[in-house]
Structure 1
Amino acid sequence: MEIPSLSAFQNQDFPSASLYVIATPIGNLGDITLRALHILSLVDGIACEDKRHSLLLLKHYGIRKPMVAIHEHNEIEAAKKLMDHLQAGERWAYLSDAGTPGVSDPGARLVAEVQINGYQTIPIPGPSALTAMLSIAGEVMIASRGQFQFLGFLPTPKNDFEEALRLMIESPIPTIFYESPHRLAKTLIRFSELLDNGRRLSIGRELSKKFESLFLLRADEIPGWLENPNHLKGEFVFILEGNNRKTITENHEPWHLAQLLSKQLSSKDLSIVLQSMYGLQKNEAYDLALAAKKGGG
């Protein structure tokens, strides 16, 4: 396939001695951007997480370039070899298996190594399961005024896993996270045990692929959803609705924290902490900070 030559590309520089970090489709090959295809046809070589996986994309678009594998097990060592190519003034691209490199995928260490050695890293935006799910979050994102936290894949050690769940459950803003199919049932059962029944969980399964499906469940609906074995196959991304402000305030956590920090922080700094921790409005947080400083309440 011939890569389109668009006038938009003619007005942009493509620096040499640079690493182009390129987002690739998370399922549907048609989601690759025209700019990404242009750059893949331009670079001198392509580093990737898995050559077999990236070749499927490159062959589909008729792109043939020298390739090297750079993954989580050899990222630093392979990055040093890549420096020789950049030092020679070459342009190289980096692809993870799917989505945006560095977002719960290899790539961050490579980018850091390139930057430390004084070479440019240039992002080429595109597909991401994170942003795809956010774009259809609707009411959940309206309630949080566009704020969210992203935890990536949940940790494996039990104590760390439970701490991650606590973080999500207490957070006043939505939490986006990934989970692997083999741990999916265990994780969701734990949510059903810990969450208030009305708390909602959005599930994106196989986004952009043939069997893409989306679900919005209340906590008490999770066990029934898990009974369908087809629900447990594929790749997943989740959004847990934020804890509403009323519930948090009823637990008196903001007031207790304000009292504890009132002697160490100014009213302004204390209000900023309260806004960040509990999602309070600016005026609410400042009034609470003033009350704590005065010893009222």
Structure 2
Amino acid sequence: MSENSGAGILYIVATPIGNLGDLSPRAKDVLMSVDVIAAEDTRHTSRLLSHFGIKRPLLACHDYNERGRSEQIVQRLQDGESVALVSDAGTPLISDPGYHLVNAVREAGLKVVPVPGACAMVAALSVSGLPSDRFFFEGFLPAKGSGRRKRMAELVDFAHTWIVYESPHRIVDMLDDMAQELGVDRHVVLARELTKTFETVLSGTVVELQDILANDENQRRGEFVVLVRGAEKPELGSGDIPEEVLRTLSVLVEELPMKQASQIAAKLTGVKSKVLYKAGLAMKDA
């Protein structure tokens, strides 16, 4: 559906997750210029706007009224008004309201413009020291222990870094569930109170982090981003190598020295070269 050039624009504006200095100049300009600001919590947003001397009308848009509010906002946009959507902190729609609104606005053929900025999940990943080339954001795990453990069991073999948000009153129980479902040696990072005065980033095995939190109640306070190292792929034994990989290796072994053959086969197949080297030796001895 083509966009209506005469209509207003919905801006998705990221706001600080703690340090107010992280509000971008562009975000400030947009918030000062729009006709209305749709906010997850108008009281929270009014304090942010007051800090920056921004005086714009506020409209509540949260989980409980978003569907109905979306119709009103679409109408305002069609009438030529511009609207900014903000959440309490960070980037809207990332475990915050906004999906139904953005979907409704786009379905109406109206323009949605991102104003990027702070996001707790991305900030935590950037300092975690965990692999970041591929990752999965889970959002919030189920609040109840049984549901939380069930979801962890589904993620136990996930090969890449995965990320969740957690509250202070559940963080200890969450680590206990991780010990049960993922094992006490799984590497985890707890990023707490990011960009705020008492920001900490703790890194270690599940059992090491359990010990830290058990002995320091301050480390159980604040909002958490929890990052989990992906599961290690079990190393193939020579008896586990797929038949097509062995055929590739056998051709290379006939033409090249064993070390070179196994290295080339590893690049072609993704199987570790030392595993292929052992398999090649077994071929020679057979």
TM over 0.5: yes
Select which of 125, 128, 151 maps to 1:134: 125
Matched, 1:54 2:45: yes
State the 1:42 CA deviation: 1.3
**Aligned partner of 1:169: which letter?**
V
State the 1:100 CA deviation: 0.5
State the 1:88 CA deviation: 1.1
Contact 1:168 1:240 in 2 (8 A): no
SS of aligned partner of 1:225: helix
Q: 1:156-197 deviations in whole A, cap 9, x for unaligned?
A: 355542232123321111111111222111111111233344
State the 1:115 CA deviation: 1.1
Structure 1's unaligned 5+ residue stretches are 1-13, 256-279, 286-297
Contact 2:7 2:78 in 1 (8 A): no
- What is the match of residue 231 of structure 2? 243
State the 1:281 CA deviation: 8.2
**Aligned partner of 1:246: which letter?**
P
**Aligned partner of 2:179: which letter?**
S
- What is the match of residue 84 of structure 2? 93
Distance 1:240 1:253 in 2: 28
Please show how residues 1-297 of structure 1 align to structure 2 within 5 Å. Answer: 17-138=8-129, 140-141=130-131, 146-227=133-214, 228-246=216-234, 283-284=269-270
Q: 1:8-53 deviations in whole A, cap 9, x for unaligned?
A: xxxxxx9851100001000111100111111111111111000011
SS of aligned partner of 2:177: helix
Cα 1:283/1:71, change in 2 over 3 Å? same
Distance 2:136 2:63 in 1: 24
SS of aligned partner of 2:89: coil
Structure 2's unaligned 5+ residue stretches are 243-265, 272-286
Distance 1:36 1:86 in 2: 19
Cα 1:254/1:74, change in 2 over 3 Å? farther
- What is the match of residue 260 of structure 2? none
Q: 1:92-133 deviations in whole A, cap 9, x for unaligned?
A: 100010001000011111111111122111111100001101
Let me know the Cα RMSD of the aligned residues.
2.6
Q: When the two structures are aligned, how many residues end up with a matched partner? A: 243
- TM-score normalised to the size of structure 2? 0.78
Max Rg structure: 2
Cα 1:147/1:282, change in 2 over 3 Å? farther
**Aligned partner of 1:234: which letter?**
G
SS of aligned partner of 2:127: coil
**Aligned partner of 1:243: which letter?**
A
Distance 2:124 2:147 in 1: 25
State the 1:283 CA deviation: 2.7
- What is the match of residue 249 of structure 2? none
Cα 1:281/1:161, change in 2 over 3 Å? farther
**Aligned partner of 2:198: which letter?**
F
SS of aligned partner of 2:128: coil
Between 1:41-50 and 1:167-176, the stretch displaced more is 167-176
Distance 2:268 2:128 in 1: 25
Distance 1:100 1:246 in 2: 37
**Aligned partner of 1:284: which letter?**
G
**Aligned partner of 1:220: which letter?**
V
SS of aligned partner of 1:71: coil
Distance 2:78 2:97 in 1: 23
State the 1:83 CA deviation: 1.9
- TM-score normalised to the size of structure 1? 0.75
Distance 2:240 2:63 in 1: 40
**Aligned partner of 1:34: which letter?**
P
